[in-house]
Structure 1
Amino acid sequence: MALSRIAKPQFNPYGDDAPQPERELGPWPAPVATAPLRARLQLPGSKSLTNRELVLAALADGPSLLRAPLHSRDTALMIEALRALGTRIDEVPGDGEYGADLLVTPGELSGGVSIDCGLAGTVMRFLPPVAALALGPVAFDGDPGARRRPMRTIVDALRALGVDVNDDGRGALPFSLYGTGAVEGGELAIDASASSQFVSGLLLVAPRFTRGLTLRHTGERLPSLPHIEMTIATLADRGVEVANPEPGVWVVPPSTIAARDVDIEPDLSNAGPFLAAALVAGGSVTVTGWPAETTQVGAQMAVILERMGATVTRAPGELTVTGTGAIHGIELDEASELAPTVAAIAALADSETVLTGIAHLRGHETDRLAALATEITAVGGDVTETDDGLIIRPRPLRGGLWHSYEDHRMATAGAIIGLAVPGIEIDDIATTAKTLPQFVELWTGPRMGIVPTPPTSGLL
């Protein structure tokens, strides 16, 4: 399946006045691992948790402190959106390695503003229900790629709840709504087959609806259920008990959302490529700050890597992956956001990998299934797209230009393959700033021990 190349993002993670390397200095040469790794590192906070906690803190009954939050493009977009709607968010000194803590003080929600969603699914799916509680018009738009992401479910849901929404029939960005300061709530049926974020976005705001919300999913399949479980857990931590009387049904009573101080866990999905590096390059990689219990889907990476040939050991507050010299193919259902990392490893495996249950990835930053098939095939791989996944067969790979499609997980997938295949160049490594602005610094820094490859067309 051919996939068109799309425009580069406008966000510059290196600073407003700094050159954007992917535009001015050419592609980023992915470094090849020349020796087994002996790495130990801690990663910034979870994007999924940071943006959920920002929404809940903005709707809470008092100020909340978010400790060690993620500072990335997605979270910056969420912060600016909530500020525009009337929430005060201040950066305050903290003990985290990757930036300030956030003090969130709720304010009266008001419209008359425009929200830039960028490419952030959590912003475009979580913020419209919040904006429906504001008084006045709120317009939503984002990057060109965001206009291709499915939004009809949230548009139709808000209309069913009595909110005036104008999208000119697109079911996609851009659109606007007119909030009246309150949403009645009650019973609502939606098809969230395209994204679990539609469910999470409604559940996060439902306690503030006058009658709460009874939400029913009507589709045949619900992707990324762990992300919904994460949403329910964050609500429970703030005193909102969400009942789940049967699969696909959630009942949220009208209630206060309690203010609280929150420690944000490291992003375990962002840890995936670093842990995968141990399997691809050999040696070991330890991620510190690994939680003993978590709702993050990224925790599944430990089990997946073990099945693919790694040795995984745990100690209090950390997880270590050690390569054994072999990479095995697996069959895996519902890999969710981990699929690009798994697919990159699978391209280097000694047997076939079959990924299923990930049709919803076609509606992410790009059509990830088509993108992975296109890019792995372009460097010599053998990939077949299916309706809901990929079949990846081992073949010798060669160097070449790897396109990221404005997708952070596509960029890191190329970097994983580049550890074992000389000559891989990522056309837009800066897109990793969406959830991990420090990716290049960490990947080629002293803690990982991967030596940067000299550029052929510029210097990063």
Structure 2
Amino acid sequence: MEGDWHTPVADGRVDDEVHLPGSKSLTNRFLVLAALANGPSLLRRPLRSRDTLLMAQALRQLGAGVEDTTAAQGSRPDWLVTPASLRGGGSVDCGLAGTVMRFLPPVAALASGTVDFDGDAQARVRPMGPVLDALRTLGVDLDDDGRGTLPFTVRGRGHVRGGTVTLDASASSQFISALLLAGARYDEGVTVHHRGKPVPSEPHIEMTVETLRDAGVMVDDSEPDTWRVEPSEVNALDVQVEPDLSNAAPFLAAGLVTAGRVTVPGWPHHTTQAGDAIRDILDAMGADVSLTREGLTVTGTGQVSGIDVDLHDASELTPVVAAVAALADSPTVIRGVAHIRGHETDRLAALARELGSLGTSVTETDDGLRIEPRAMQAGLFHTYADHRMVMAGAVLGLGVPGLRVEDAATVAKTLPEFVDLWHGLVAPGTSAAGAVTA
């Protein structure tokens, strides 16, 4: 799907269920652990998107087997992951996936041989320095020509000494997760100390710790800003991947914005996914929110209110929350998300520019945005190769008839079915393909 996407306008209130595939964050963590495990693992209902397919292919490059296996009739295939001795001699395409470019260098250090890493042009500006410097401290030989970014080369020796490192993870929690995921296979394990401003998106570190414990790895996180992984085997897994709660955000927002009702089945009652925060956010913005055994339901009340919200721990929700805020009846302040300037794009600058071009008053602050709703007129909403910007544009289209979203295909990074699912919810019977023009 190439070209501009003419986003559909809801014909009244939306009222439907949206069935979502698995979490990207969990799928990629499970893939890494399964490749390091002591036997074959089965990942049920994994997400198949650009990011997770890149992770699977990278692990194949390193020697692991990642194969489709028969699942329940009518559902997506599961993944069977068979570990093997890790080998070098190849290259890893990271695309624009932070989980691939950050999680796999500590794994590649365990391989016998050289592994080259590179990715999309936009990926070459995403920070990598803290995790690369930490690997050097742990005895890993690598070369990035001093850039602290892609491209770089890891020269694996078949094992890593491990030990204790101190780093500044204030730009990304992935720097910590990367070391923890591979740490059990290091000779001395790994102890990671964070020193710097508060770590963003800490629920993602909690997710890493929980997945490690699911695989039988001993993790001590009792001391603030310190994580200790004991050297041990990694047990094989048989897990079902939770639905991606961050990808649910635009669909649930549609329930609020159209005064309709949207249900996402299978919403977990206990989760480490940061996207779970969307429940409280939409409730504060005027929705009725109900979590039952069947799933999460968001019902609009006819009013969309602005809020003052700190999204430090759930920053991936910022684009969708900003889009809802632009359709609200009062101002919104989003705080605590300075670090998303280093995501797929500078999300704060991108949101301020694109919302402003449609007529909304947006002020970029040191750590977020102030959004004052104004009447908006249709135009072209640029996405900057950022999947979350596509989702934000879809939500805006509910209140801005005629809006066009540039390069909607980039949403395949985390949810290839997004445009089809959106048309099915907002404008049943319309063709997603027919809504795209060159």
What TM-score bracket applies, with the shorter chain setting the length? Answer: over 0.9
User: Which residue of structure 2 aligns with residue 395 of structure 1?
Assistant: 374
Deviation at 1:175, TM superposition (A): 0.6
Work out whether 1:323 is the aligned partner of 2:291.
Answer: no
Tell me which amino acid in the other structure corresponds to 2:101.
Answer: M
For residues 97 and 279 of structure 1, the distance between their equivalents in structure 2, rounded to whole angstroms, comes to 31
Distance 1:448 1:263 in 2: 29
Map of 1:21 onto structure 2 = 2
Tell me, yes or no, if structure 1 residue 89 matches structure 2 residue 66. yes
Matches within 5 A, 1:330-349: 330-333=307-310, 334=312, 335-349=314-328
The correspondence for 2:235, drawn from 250, 255, 258, is 258
Amino acid at match of 2:261: S
> How many angstroms apart in 2 are the aligned matches of 1:290 and 1:263?
13
2:357 equivalent in structure 1: 378
Give the Cα–Cα distance (whole angstroms) in 2 for the partners of residues 372 and 438 of structure 1: 23
Indicate which of 291, 314, 321 corresponds to 2:268.
Answer: 291
Question: Quick check: 1:107 aligned with 2:84?
Answer: yes
Tell me the secondary structure at the aligned position of residue 269 of structure 1: coil
1:164-313 correspondence to structure 2 within 5 Å? 164-313=141-290
- Say whether residues 1:419 and 2:417 are aligned partners: no
Q: 1:439 to 1:96 in 2, by over 3 A?
A: farther
> Please, which runs of 5 or more residues in structure 2 have no aligned partner?
none
Secondary structure of 1:406's counterpart equals: coil
Measure how far apart 1:106 and its partner are: 0.2
Q: 1:32·1:450 contact (CA, 8 Å) conserved in 2?
A: no
CA contact (8 A) 2:99 2:174 kept: yes
**Matches of 1:455 and 1:163, distance apart in 2:** 48
Matched AA of 1:189: T
Determine helix, strand or coil for the equivalent of 2:191: strand
SS of equivalent to 2:371? strand
**Cα gap change, 1:433 to 1:97, in 2 (>3 Å):** farther
Q: CA deviation at 1:280?
A: 1.0
Check 1:424–1:350 CA distance in 2 against 1; reply closer, same or farther (3 A cut). same
Residue 51 (1) aligns with residue 28 (2): yes
- Inter-partner Cα distance in structure 2 for 1:402 and 1:432: 14
C-alpha separation between the residues in 2 aligned to 1:453 and 1:56?
40
CA distance in structure 2 between the aligned counterparts of 1:374 and 1:93, rounded to whole angstroms: 46
Specify the alignment match of 2:44 in structure 1. 67
Retained in 1: the 8 A contact 2:13–2:258?
yes
Decide whether the 8 Å contact of 1:33 with 1:451 is kept in 2. no
Whether the 8 Å CA contact 1:31–1:451 is kept in 2: the answer is no
Are the counterparts in 1 of residues 423 and 432 from structure 2 also a CA contact under 8 Å? no
SS of equivalent to 1:270: coil
The 3-state SS of whatever aligns with 1:312 is strand
Give % identity.
58
Q: Is residue 363 of structure 1 aligned with residue 358 of structure 2?
A: no
Question: Relative to 1, partners in 2 of residues 1:369 and 1:375: Cα closer, same or farther, differing over 3 Å?
Answer: same
Is the contact between residue 291 and residue 317 of structure 1 (CA under 8 Å) also seen in structure 2? no
Distance of 1:140 and 1:265 partners within structure 2: 29
Partner Cα separation in structure 2 for residue 105 and residue 457 of structure 1? 42
Contact 1:161–1:184 (Cα < 8 Å) also in 2: yes
Preserved CA contact (<8 Å) 2:259 2:302: yes
Paired with 1:298 and 1:132, the residues of 2 have a C-alpha distance of 31
Map Cα deviations across residues 177-232 of structure 1 (whole Å, 9 max, x no partner): 10101111111001111100010111001101100111000112210000000000
Distance 1:454 1:144, change over 3 A: closer
Residue 422 of structure 2 is aligned to residue 443 of structure 1:
yes
Structure 1 residues 431, 454: CA separation in 2 closer, same or farther (over 3 Å shift)? closer
Closer/same/farther in 2, CA of residues 455 and 288 from structure 1, 3 Å limit: closer
Is the Cα contact below 8 Å between 2:94 and 2:118 reproduced in 1? yes
Q: Distance in 2 between matches of 1:186 and 1:453?
A: 55
Gap regions ≥5 residues in structure 1: 1-19
**What is the identity, as a one-letter code, of the residue corresponding to 1:245?**
S
CA deviation after TM superposition for structure 1 residue 423, in Å: 1.7
> Structure 1 residue 98: deviation in Å?
5.5
1:126 paired with 2:103, answer yes
The one-letter code sitting in structure 1 at the alignment partner of 2:251 is F
| TM-score (normalised: structure 2) | 0.97
Q: Runs ≥4 in structure 1, deviation > 3 angstroms?
A: 447-460
Aligned to 1:6: none
Contact in 2 for aligned 1:32/1:453 (Cα 8 Å): no
Q: Secondary structure at the match of 2:370?
A: strand
The corresponding residue for 1:430 is 409
Q: Are 2:308 and 2:334, in contact at CA under 8 Å, matched by a contact in 1?
A: yes
Q: Is the 8 A contact 1:381 1:394 kept in 2?
A: yes
- Aligned counterparts of 2:221 and 2:125: Cα–Cα separation in 1: 32
Question: How many angstroms apart in 2 are the aligned matches of 1:435 and 1:96?
Answer: 24
How many pairs does the alignment contain?
A: 436
C-alpha change, 1:398 and 1:448, in structure 2 (3 Å) is: closer
- The AA in structure 2 aligned to 1:266 is P
> Could you tell me how far apart the structure 1 residues matched to 2:14 and 2:324 are?
16
